[in-house]
Chains A and B, each alone.
Chain A
Amino acid sequence: MSGVQEEENDNEIMTSSPVTHIISTHQVGKTFKLYKKRVDRLKETFLPWVNNLHRPFQALTDVSFEVVRGETIGIIGRNGSGKSTLLQIICGIMQPSKGTIAVDGRISALLELGAGFNPEYSGRDNVYFNGSILGLSKEEITAKLPEIEAFADIGPFIDQPVKTYSSGMYVRLAFSVAINVEPDILIVDEALSVGDALFQSKCFAKFREFQEQGVTILFVTHSMDLVTRYCQKALMLNDGKAVAYGNAKEVVDIYNRTIVRCENSNGPTDSVSSEDAKEQIENLTGSTQQNDSEGVAFLRNEDENRYGNGQAEIIDVGIQSLNSVSQHTIVHGQRYRFWIKVRFQQDCQQPVYAYTIKDVKGFDISGTNTHYQEIDTGEVKAGQVVEVHFDQDMMLNSGSYLMSFGCAGFVDGTYTVFDRRYDLVTFEVVSDKQSVGMFDLGSHITVNLLDE
């Protein structure tokens, strides 16, 4: 296994020894056939002269990648990019329409919450059932049951029908079974996000343990932070194509870059064409310093809540990195600029510009405005455009945040909102440092041994 370590950071592992590659896919493609009627599918299957009743839908195209035993791979991509289809193919649930896939080891998959659970039966019965689907004997499951119960930590609920479980209990039990069947490959599809923070941290501790034991982990997530923190490698899918595979941090950067590109070129649409993505990667491999103007990654929220009298209009916003650790990912501790462009429809004295950051639960975390900070914003004439910069160190801990911007002012002595755009953008902070809570006070810690 000594050679494996050296190869790990190499994106282009071309050797195909079955010992090192626990999963290898070669140009895997999946075309779904869409039919108007189910009967048409039957006709096409059994009548050799009928073959034109379907409309093809290309879910995956030429996906080739190899996974070395013991690696943890994050699979990222937007909704509909083919992540789940790929996992289903790796698990053997679906057959690829093209290409080959080789998997060498026992797979334990957590593809959906409570798949393979019968809601009428008790947790314990379902553990046996799940175990027997995975090919374990009754005795083997009985032997593992205490461990499964301990990890799931659902107490006496183990003997209650699972239909009475909360979704958190569901995922705890399901995950507990999945990890306790001694898999060679563990596949987790977003399910973990249901658990609470404590359980999640327990799961990730288990991931670490698995990594040490040489268990391969594939997991799908939308949290770039989890990918950079736990995965050695990441695979990015876009429109069913594997657009990037390699070092996790680099792939996350590409991912964020494509999102920015999408924001800048296509406006607030929800699709990145894979041509765009390809171009991004070519740019990246050419020179990392290009396209500085693109700024860092954030998503524009389509369901923003906007109000105001329209006297001024926030026409554009953005986030920009002020030092060059990563151009496209918001990294904890680095310096960033939030900027807004405001076009005024009427003359205005001393307008107020503001931003607020909330967490995903809607709790206000931080915010400020030019009025609080007593900044002279001067006089603006109708038709003029003002650009405002808010520069600060990103002291938020890793996680997803929502950002609102506003522009207001005093009209005839009354505070009037010109344009307020709530939850206009979401962004994600990644961190390579463990910490508690949402905010980092930047504590400087000294430890002194006192011996008197």
Chain B
Amino acid sequence: MKYYPLSFLTTILERRKLVYSMARREVSSKYVGSAFGIVWAVAQPLVMISVFWFIFSIGFRVSPRNDVPFVVWLAAGMAPWFAFADIMNLATSAVISNGNLIKKTFFPSEILPVIRAVSGLFSHLIFVTIVLCLIGLMQMEISFYFFQSLYYLCCLFFLALGLSWTFASLTVFLRDIRHMVAIVMQVGFWATPIFWDINMMSGTVQKILKLNPVYYIIQGYRESFIYFTPFWHHPVYTLYFWGVTSLLFLGGMFVFARLKPQFPDVL
């Protein structure tokens, strides 16, 4: 038996319309039946940002850093994290919740995590819009560096997709993965420098914290929206990120391809 991971990519390209329409379905099915629909999609991140801003800005009296309003700095860091955590949590159930499709129709199951990832981008888009609104509200500088966030979005997508393939396929055989991922994401939110500054830590701890590839993206979002630093200013970290991401991506494809033939037997 041979598996060609590349065939994953060609399938995704060939079935991109299906991916798009299924992702759209997933987004709309989240809000189908609720009277306010899209309002909830905006309300949720808005409330989340407000709560964190309130706790840290008012409660703990965290002062603005380098003249950057804390709320913008916080939101810019939260945006990629929540997209990542969202996709991870959705991905674990990507395959098991489509058992009917896999067992009874000829369906390329490798696109299921892709669909979840794409549908996760919708709420991310709203989150980023809120960040931009905050920047406008605070009358902060506007720059072409904003577009650099697209590069980091790409980074986010590849990192999330590789892990999605792994988790989505493993969950089929080990349902516990779902809960494990949920807990890791909870812990990850606190352990990743999102609402606290990495510079608070000593040099060694900083190095350890930077091993988390998600931090590369969080830092990147802040550099794109606030500090206007190009990504090639830290080439080693960029290389490290892509090294890890490529490994996770290829590993995810390998695991998924290895387990895919057994899906119909188990689902």
Contacts and interface: CB of A to CB of B under 8 A. Distances in A.
A133 B25 contact: no
B203 interface: no
A121 B26 CA distance: 11
Given A41-B173, A120-B32, A93 B21 contact: no
Contacts, number: 81
Contact of B29 (A120, A135, A138): A120
Contact of A46 (B29, B100, B258): B258
A: contact size bracket: 20 to 34
B100 A116 contact: yes
Contacts of B104: 93, 109, 111-112, 115-116
Nearest to A89: B264
Contacts of B17: 132, 137-138
A48 to B, nearest CB: 12
Nearest to A91: B106
Interface in B245-267: 255, 258-259, 261-262, 264-266
B185 interface: no
Contacts of A128: 21
B264 A94 contact: yes
B105 A116 contact: yes
B103 interface: yes
B91 to A, nearest CB: 18
Nearest to B33: A120
Contacts of B259: 42, 45
A115 B107 CA distance: 11
A109 B105 CA distance: 7
Given A45-B259, A46-B258, A93-B264, A111 B21 contact: no
A353 B25 CA distance: 65
A81 to B, nearest CB: 18
Interface in B41-96: none
A299 to B, nearest CB: 28
Contacts of B258: 45-46
A133 B264 contact: no
A133 B32 contact: no
Interface string B6-36: 0000000001011001100100010011000
A107 B25 contact: no
Contacts of A137: 17
A33 B264 CA distance: 12
Task: Specify which of A32, A45, A128 lies most central, judged by the most chain B CB atoms within 10 Å of its CB.
Answer: A45
Nearest to A34: B265
Given A39-B174, A129-B25, A137-B17, A45 B106 contact: no
A42 B106 contact: no
A280 interface: no
Nearest to B20: A132
Contacts of A93: 102-107, 264
Interface string A85-118: 0001001111100000000000101011001101
A119 B170 CA distance: 27
Contacts of A107: 106
A133 B173 contact: no
Contact of A39 (B22, B106, B173, B264): B173
Interface string B183-215: 000000000000000000000000000000000
Contacts of B265: 32-33, 94
Task: Specify which of A95, A112, A125, A133 lies most central, judged by the most chain B CB atoms within 10 Å of its CB.
Answer: A133
A275 B158 CA distance: 55
A54 to B, nearest CB: 11
A166 B25 CA distance: 24
28 contacts: A39-B173, A39-B174, A41-B173, A41-B266, A42-B170, A42-B173, A42-B174, A42-B259, A45-B262, A88-B264, A91-B106, A93-B103, A93-B105, A93-B106, A111-B105, A112-B103, A112-B104, A115-B104, A116-B104, A116-B107, A118-B29, A120-B33, A121-B25, A125-B25, A132-B18, A133-B101, A135-B15, A138-B17
Given A46-B258, A93-B102, 9 more contacts: A41-B173, A45-B262, A46-B255, A111-B104, A112-B100, A115-B100, A118-B29, A120-B32, A133-B101
